[in-house]
């Protein structure tokens, strides 16, 4: 078979051409006017190449030729004389016209010119296409619907039966009625107990100035750079201007009070003057181990035991030993000392704060020999005492001048009734006499001049002191003979130590919290420090959360309490053998409690998060 567009005529095309010419001769003799096939069958070369010829099988081509001959004869033998139509420009349009109307007569078609073999090859498939399309359309109209398989019929039958069954039960009607009758659950509102939130005014944006107005060269090469001392001084001055250190006192507590609700705070202070500050009574923590766990499991949290006590992050917490009130004390980020009377009902739900410091209160303790005195150590470089009975605030020790930058105090511990040990950022352990603020303190050089972050005094041998520093080492010191910065014993941790405390009864064990994700029970025989047990614990609180500080339960040597990063949020209690003893959870407890404290004798636990909110289990 020749390819489409070939110039050589085939035998079949010649034979078909002869048949067509014979048919035309017969039609001329029987008709008055002779129709012409020239306009409908003659195709130009441009039209010939505009649409490729369809590929057909040999059988299809034979049938199409025979059908075409019959159709052409019928059209030519028709007696009707239709109107002359304009010549079509496309081949497909010409073929369609040939099918729909009789060929038009033309007087100029006396001399017949027939298409070549190539043109005949192009015309015949087009006519065949028309017939095939017509037959296909007729088959589609008369074709019966598609027959489904047995499996599809079974599935359709099952669906219909189930729909009938559900309709008979009237389930959909009942569902709609229930949805209309059911009350919509109300969204739970977040509690807003505690201090009132103060909206800070928007900070003014700095006006942009050109280099010329700033007296700078385009490249800035000729400008002298400030020294490190000038930079430190500028930072210190900006810090002092934004939040200056309060006066050293002594002065009344109301002079340091800046929060709303001043009248209510005055009423609260009058109540503190009249309550019994002494604790006492039998401690619930003196029971055997199973009895203590049973007590812990009974402690619950409610919505009324959650309140915001300080505006920002909490750094320290204690529960006052008094039995007349549940009084929680909080150290805040900007020097706030928060007081929360848990069961007091007023506009602030018993939560108040004042500012004895200007920077974070990292350590807060109740004087073990006088419960009315609260000692606070702040990063602003001062140690202060607050008398809750008299309402007087007084500075006990100042480590640095106010304008000093990056020089601070971090921790303190009571050595005896009259002396307190304070850790400094320049590697000093300072012994302060709290009876006279003008007395010269005793300084001990430790940790090779690196920051003393934590201080713990042995409960029975108060001349032994444990400290930790930025060097990731826990050291034991004998204050009677500190020579050449040499410790009695050391226990390297490798990473930053954020918590350190002696066991409260014998002091034979130290508990440390380290950023290497371990809690360590360290045995201490006053000559060596040795790790007895390591508990794997996630201590990665990140930048915006206060670091964890594991603590012993009051009067216990075998149980500790520590915060947790796990979900749902919880506070964990661990045995000293590495077994988890209990977890405090609740619907009202939904944040990380980085620091925690127990009441010395009662079943009360306070957990503080990094937004100033306190959760009390009791």
Residue 42 within any structural domain of the chain: yes
Higher pLDDT, 529 or 68: 529
- Measured CA to CA, the distance from residue 608 to residue 618 in angstroms comes to 15
pLDDT digits (tens, 9 = 90+) for 509-566: 999 999 999 999 999 999 999 999 999 999 999 989 999 999 999 999 999 999 999 9
**38 falls within a domain:** yes
Report the share of the chain in percent with pLDDT over 90. 53
**SS3 call for 504:** coil
Quote the CA–CA distance of 570 and 581 in Å, as a whole number. 13
The C-alpha atoms of residue 433 and residue 386 are separated, in whole angstroms, by 16
Q: Which two tokens stand for residue 126?
A: 């087009």
* Total domain count, the chain: 1
Residue 452 bridge partners (DSSP): 469
Query: How far is 553 from 309, CA to CA, in rounded Å?
Result: 24
In a domain, 276, yes or no: no
Inter-axis angle of helices 117-142 and 11-30, to 10 degrees?
80
The residue that leads in pLDDT, 233 or 341, is 341
Average the pLDDT over each of 122-131, 136-145, 291-300, 450-459 and give the range with the smallest value.
Answer: 122-131
Asked whether the CA dihedral 92, 97, 102, 106 is positive or negative, the reply is: negative
- For the cut 70, the answer to whether the pLDDT of residue 235 exceeds it is no
What is the pLDDT, as a whole number, of residue 208?
73
User: Structure tokens of 433?
Assistant: 């006499």
Compute the mean pLDDT over every residue in the chain, rounded to the nearest whole number. Answer: 79
Residue 534, CA distances (Å) to 176, 228, 269, 509, 520 in order:
60, 42, 45, 13, 5
Tokens of 463: 């001349």
How confident is the model over 167-189, as a mean pLDDT? 73
pLDDT tier at 581, thresholds 50, 70, 90: very high
* Amino acid 175: pLDDT: 78
**Is the confidence at residue 73, as pLDDT, over 60?**
no
Q: Does pLDDT of 62 surpass 70?
A: no
Q: Which of 509, 463, 511 lies closest to 488, judged by CA?
A: 463
User: What is the distance of C-alpha 265 from the center of its chain?
Assistant: 38
127 within domain boundaries: yes
Tokens, residue 130: 């028309």
Beta-strand pair 327-332/337-341:
antiparallel
Let me know if residue 31 belongs to a domain: yes
Token pair of 13, please?
Answer: 């095309």
- 159-163, 222-226, 274-278, 549-553: which has the minimum mean pLDDT? 222-226
Give percent above pLDDT 70 in the chain: 68
CB 520 within 8 A of CB 455: no
The CA-based angle 317-318-322, given to 5 degrees, is: 155
Please report how many Cα atoms fall inside a 13 Å half-sphere around the Cα of residue 434, on the Cβ side: 23
Q: What is the pLDDT of residue 85?
A: 45
Whether the pLDDT of residue 84 is over 70: the answer is: no
Q: Give φ, ψ of 539 to 5 degrees.
A: -110, 15
Across the range 277-300, mean pLDDT stands at 93
Using alpha carbons, select from 390, 354, 397, 399 the residue that is nearest to residue 375.
397
When pLDDT is averaged across residues 61-83 and rounded to a whole number, the result is 46
User: Which has the higher per-residue pLDDT, 181 or 498?
Assistant: 498
Is 36 part of any domain? yes
Number of Cβ within 10 Å of residue 442's Cβ equals 14
Q: Which DSSP string corresponds to 332-349? A: ETTS-EEEEETT--STTT
CA dist., res. 2 & res. 193, Å (int): 96
Residue whose pair of structure tokens reads 């298409």 in the numeric block = 115
**At residue 428, does pLDDT exceed 60?**
yes
User: Which range has the top average pLDDT, 56-60, 71-75, 361-365?
Assistant: 361-365
Residue 65 lies in a domain: yes
Average pLDDT over residues 150-154: 90
Question: What's the mean pLDDT in 267-291?
Answer: 90
Above 60 in pLDDT, residue 71?
no
Residue 288 has pLDDT above 90, yes or no: yes
Is the pLDDT at 342 greater than 80, yes or no? yes
- Between 27-31, 347-351, 529-533, 555-559, the lowest mean confidence (pLDDT) is in 27-31
- Span 106-141, pLDDT tens digits: 444 433 343 344 444 443 444 444 444 444 444 444
Phi, psi of 305 (to 5 degrees): -105, 25
What is the pLDDT at residue 172? 75
Q: Determine the pLDDT at residue 470.
A: 85
Burial class (CB within 10 angstroms; exposed 0-12, middle 13-18, buried 19+) of 174: exposed
For residue 344, what are the contacts with CB-CB under 8 A and spacing of at least 6? 268, 350
DSSP SS3 for 600: coil
What does the pLDDT look like over 309-337, one tens digit per residue? 999 999 999 999 999 999 999 999 999 99
> For 175-190, what is the mean pLDDT?
69
pLDDT band with cut points at 50, 70 and 90 for residue 13: low
pTM listed for this prediction = 0.67
Mean pLDDT, to the nearest integer, of 78-83? 44
Distance between CA 23 and CA 28 in Å, rounded? 9
Distance CA(117)–CA(4), nearest Å, equals 11
Return the closest-CA partner of residue 489 out of 452, 461, 531: 531
Task: State the pLDDT at residue 165.
Answer: 87
CA distances from 610 to 260, 312, 618 (A): 22, 7, 21
DSSP state of 506: S
614's enclosing H/E stretch is: strand 613-617
In a domain, 19, yes or no: yes
**Token representation of residue 4:** 């489409």
Q: Which residues are CB-contacts of 507 (< 8 A; sequence separation ≥ 6)?
A: 458, 459, 460, 461, 464, 524
More confident residue, 200 or 413: 413
The single-letter DSSP state of residue 466 is: E
Note the pLDDT of residue 142. 53
Q: Contact 361/376 with Cβ under 8 angstroms?
A: yes
Handedness of CA 28, 30, 32, 34 (dihedral sign): negative
Within 13 Å and on the Cβ side, how many CA atoms surround 53?
20
Expressed as residue numbers, the domain containing 74 is 11-133
Cα 302 from chain centre:
27
Largest distance between two CA atoms of the chain: 146
User: Residue 217 contacts by C-beta under 8 Å, 6 or more apart in sequence?
Assistant: 211, 223
Residue pair 288/427 in contact by the 8 Å Cβ criterion: no
CB 339 within 8 A of CB 327: yes
What strand order describes the sheet that includes 337-341? 314-319, 327-332, 337-341, 351-354
Cα 502 from chain centroid? 37
Decide if pLDDT at 381 tops 60.
Answer: yes
């Amino acid at each position: 078979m020749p390819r489409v567009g070939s110039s050589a005529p085939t035998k079949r095309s010649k034979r078909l051409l002869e048949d067509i010419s014979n048919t035309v001769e017969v039609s001329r003799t029987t008709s008055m006017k002779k129709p012409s096939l020239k306009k409908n069958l003659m195709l130009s070369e441009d039209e010939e190449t505009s649409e490729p010829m369809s590929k057909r099988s040999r059988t299809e081509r034979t049938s199409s030729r025979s059908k075409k001959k019959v159709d052409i004869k019928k059209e030519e033998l028709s007696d009707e004389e239709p109107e002359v139509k304009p010549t079509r420009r496309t081949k497909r349009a010409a073929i369609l016209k040939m099918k729909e109307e009789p060929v038009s007569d033309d007087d100029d078609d006396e001399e017949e010119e027939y298409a070549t073999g190539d043109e005949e090859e192009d015309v015949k498939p087009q006519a065949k296409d028309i017939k095939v399309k017509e037959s296909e359309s007729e088959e589609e109209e008369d074709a019966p619907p598609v027959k489904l398989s047995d499996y599809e019929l079974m599935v359709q039958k099952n669906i219909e039966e189930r729909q009938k069954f559900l309709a008979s039960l009237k389930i959909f009607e009942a569902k709609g009625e229930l949805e209309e009758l059911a009350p919509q659950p109300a969204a739970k509102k977040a509690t807003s107990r505690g201090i009132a939130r103060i909206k800070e005014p928007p900070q003014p944006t700095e006006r942009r100035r050109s280099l010329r107005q700033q007296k700078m060269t385009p490249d800035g090469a000729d400008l002298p750079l400030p020294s490190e001392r000038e930079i430190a001084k500028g930072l210190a001055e900006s810090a002092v201007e934004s939040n200056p250190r309060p006066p050293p006192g002594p002065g009344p507590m109301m002079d340091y009070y800046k929060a709303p609700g001043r009248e209510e705070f005055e009423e609260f202070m009058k109540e503190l003057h009249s309550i019994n500050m002494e604790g006492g009574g039998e401690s619930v923590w003196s029971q055997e181990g199973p009895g203590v766990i049973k007590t812990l499991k009974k402690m619950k949290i409610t919505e009324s035991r959650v309140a915001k006590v300080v505006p920002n992050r909490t750094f320290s917490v204690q529960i006052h030993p008094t039995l007349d009130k549940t009084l929680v004390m909080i150290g805040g980020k900007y020097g706030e000392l928060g007081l929360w009377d848990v069961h007091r009902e007023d506009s602030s739900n018993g939560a108040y704060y004042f500012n004895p410091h200007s920077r974070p209160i990292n350590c807060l303790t109740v004087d073990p020999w006088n419960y009315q005195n609260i000692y606070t150590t702040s990063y602003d470089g001062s140690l202060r005492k607050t008398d809750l009975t008299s309402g007087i605030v007084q500075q006990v020790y100042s480590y640095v001048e106010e304008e000093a930058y990056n020089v601070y105090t971090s921790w303190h511990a009571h050595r005896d009734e009259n002396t307190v040990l304070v850790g400094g950022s320049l590697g000093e352990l300072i012994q302060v006499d709290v009876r006279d603020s003008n007395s010269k303190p005793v300084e001990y050089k430790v940790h090779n001049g690196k920051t003393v972050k934590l201080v713990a005094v042995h409960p029975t041998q108060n001349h032994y002191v444990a400290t930790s520093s930025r060097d990731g080492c826990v050291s034991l010191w004998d204050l009677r003979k500190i020579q050449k910065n040499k410790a009695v014993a050391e226990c390297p941790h490798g990473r930053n130590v954020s918590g350190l405390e002696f066991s409260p009864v014998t002091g034979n064990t130290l508990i440390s919290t380290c950023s290497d994700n371990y809690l360590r029970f360290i045995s201490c025989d006053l000559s060596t420090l040795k790790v007895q047990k390591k508990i794997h614990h996630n201590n990665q609180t990140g930048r915006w959360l206060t670091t964890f500080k594991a603590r012993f339960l009051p009067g216990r040597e075998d149980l500790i309490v520590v915060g947790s990063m796990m979900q749902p949020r919880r506070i964990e209690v661990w045995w000293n053998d590495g077994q988890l003893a209990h977890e405090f959870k609740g619907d009202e407890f939904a944040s990380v409690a980085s620091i925690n404290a127990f009441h010395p004798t009662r079943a009360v636990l306070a957990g503080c998060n990094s937004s100033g909110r306190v959760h009390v289990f009791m």
